[in-house]
Amino acid sequence: MPQCKFFRECRSNAVIQIPHTKMALCKDHFLRYIENRVKKNIEDNHLIDFQNPKEKVLVAISGGKDSQTLLTILHKALQGRVALEALYIEVGITPRNYSYDSAIIARSLCEKLGVPFHILNVKEHLGFTIDDIHQLGTYIKKGKRNRKRNNYRGECSYCGLLKRYYINYFAVKHNFTKVATGHNLTDEASQLLSNFFSIDIELMSRAGPITLRDVEGLIPRIKPLYYIYETELIMYAYFAKVEHLPTECEYATDSPVISVKKSLEKIESFRRGSMMNMVRDFQKNLKPILAETITEDHQIVKKCSQCGMTTYLDMCSFCTTTNRLKEQMKQFHILEE
């Protein structure tokens, strides 16, 4: 490894080369470089309003490297200027003690940083867990019911739906003004490409470092790590000694987004900066055009007829989906009638 780019200042050899620029940096300059890029994203895209005394940021943490690193960097960047708290959603994944271990690690970091920590248990609200959803999927995949008729989307899809709903639910209930998630550049590029394959214009139009919705009941989401590669986060967590759960969820193997991510990483290996350029150019050139195509019926704000949360439908997708899952689970005797 060559000398650090700022060798005259630090007198150190480099420990890493930045993926999209190949700039060589020592440990201290690398950590500072990532933190400065996160701060720049916050400032350039107005993710946090430092002038608002009521600004209150909720960090969604899972115990994984991304959210643990996000909380670490945000805590350092905000320096107490804005109220910062963390929420862990307990979805009930027992293989390899995944949920149990994740919660312990998430709580440990919060205690270390002095950040208030909260847990919301999905089973207490819904009556079932991701383990139950996995069991349902196992029955459907074995052909005990027509898979198409049962419309089973996979554990990752349902887990994401539950987490998005309950994070917003908790944020609304406790008067948070922003929700910060650990989505990184690699995640965003993969999701953007997946949405393109599906020609999902509405989802593509909402992609970005912040979802700006001046709508009661929908808390704006911010992504401070939006322009940071996943490989950079791995190295940051390593050099900064950020405690996190190294194992992956056992149910995540069938996620189609993972396959897209692997393909993009392969492209990145011979076409440096592909993901960064794609995401930046999309934000600058294509997103403004797509936003204008969203029809008025997708902008009318309503209250869900079942749960009362804000939605653009008569019944929100969360209630529609969880109602169907409950009925399916009763058919297979996973849940009692």
pLDDT value for 147: 47
pTM (predicted TM-score): 0.92
Query: What local confidence, expressed as pLDDT, does residue 151 receive?
Result: 72
Is residue 119 within a helix (H) or strand (E), and if so which, with residue range? strand 117-121
Q: Which amino acid is at 275?
A: M
Q: For the beta carbon of residue 234, count every other beta carbon within 10 angstroms.
A: 15
Cβ–Cβ under 8 Å, residues 245 and 63: yes
Q: How far is CA 173 from CA 58, 93, 168, 216, 217, in A?
A: 12, 25, 8, 12, 9
Structure tokens at 225: 């790590």
Tokens of 179: 């929700």
Q: What is the pLDDT of residue 280?
A: 94
Which residues, given as ranges, of the chain have pLDDT below 70?
Answer: 144-150, 212-213, 254, 294-300
pLDDT at 141: 82
User: What is the pLDDT, as a whole number, of residue 197?
Assistant: 86
pLDDT of residue 258: 81
SS3 171: helix
The CA distances from residue 58 to 50, 145, 204, in Å, are 15, 41, 24
At 313 the pLDDT is 85
- 44-280 fold: Rossmann fold (3.40.50)
